[in-house]
Amino acid sequence: MAQPITKIAYHTAEAIYVRGASLVDELIGQLTFTEMMYFQLMGARPTPAQTRILDAVLVTLMEHGITPSSIVSRLIYDSCPEGVQAAIAAGLLGVGSTFIGTMEGCAANLEEMLGAPEGEAARAKAIAQRVRAAKQPIPGFGHPHHKPDDPRSPRLLAVAGEAGVPGRHIRALRLLAKEVDAAWGRHLTINATGAVAALLGEIGIPAAVMRGIAVVSRAAGLVGHIREEQVEPSARFIWSTVSEKIPYAGG
């Protein structure tokens, strides 16, 4: 079996190197978290525009109140207060296909458009009609609570525009949005995961790890929920409320 190599990091007794840079001499105190994350992942230092876009994405996805993942982290923290990492990990297991994973489906559609020989607009129309005909939801569009429009999406797209990125993914998303509305016969909002897919595409993040960006951001949000659980416990209340509301109706 071929021996793999790593290009990420190594260390000696005196130093740690990440992507060829000295952690101590070149990174700590000089890079922000977001710059370091981009550098570690992509192997190149981000431009200011890339940093600004990645920050906007990370800020957007961090927090949405009492959600499945924050409920999970609170319950696990109460059961296992000695393991803050386990409470966070449990909540992160909810960053699956239902909510956040749609980002990848949207990114795939944008990639398909950008490589289409017949042009992006024609492919956007074909994608929208294909998904609609299959009676499936189209990833990156629609939101159960935020109507008529998800307020995060125009802001994210505006930040990217201000940052001055090339804009191919964002243009593709707008084209797709037009065709989605036409195929559905009504307005479907570009939701936050749709806008995020376009922004991360703009800064070169591969679709296959986009979900990881959301995981990092949500991890930070869950730390806040665990802290609140420490000072204002909710887990026992959640447990008793839920068990009362789901009655036994067996034989």
CA distances from residue 168 to 128, 161, 199 in whole angstroms, order as listed: 18, 11, 10
Q: Taking contact as CB under 8 A, which single stretch among the options 37-45, 112-120, 127-135, 183-191 is the one that binds a copy of itself?
A: 37-45
Collect all residues with Cβ–Cβ distance below 8 Å to 57 and sequence separation of at least 6: 156, 196, 199, 200, 213, 217
Q: Which of 132, 155, 168, 178 binds a copy of itself (CB under 8 A)?
A: 155
Neighbours of 27 (CB within 10 A): 18
Q: Across the strands, what pairs with 11?
A: 16
Q: Taking contact as CB under 8 A, which single stretch among the options 27-35, 116-124, 129-137, 179-187 is the one that binds a copy of itself?
A: 27-35
According to the binding rule CB under 8 A, does residue 199 interact with a copy of itself? no
CA distances from residue 11 to 5, 18, 21, 23 in whole angstroms, order as listed: 15, 9, 11, 10
Alpha-carbon torsion, ordered 113, 118, 123, 126, to 10 deg: -160
Q: Taking contact as CB under 8 A, which single stretch among the options 36-44, 106-114, 129-137, 182-190 is the one that binds a copy of itself?
A: 36-44
Number of residues this chain uses to bind a copy of itself (CB under 8 A): 124
According to the binding rule CB under 8 A, does residue 158 interact with a copy of itself? yes
Q: Which residues, numbered 160-189, are part of the site for a copy of itself (CB under 8 A)?
A: 162
Q: Which residues, numbered 41-80, are part of the site for a copy of itself (CB under 8 A)?
A: 41, 43, 52, 54-56, 58-60, 62-69, 71-72, 75-76, 78-80
Q: Which of 23, 49, 126, 182 binds a copy of itself (CB under 8 A)?
A: 23
Look at strands 21-22 and 9-11 and give their pairing: unpaired
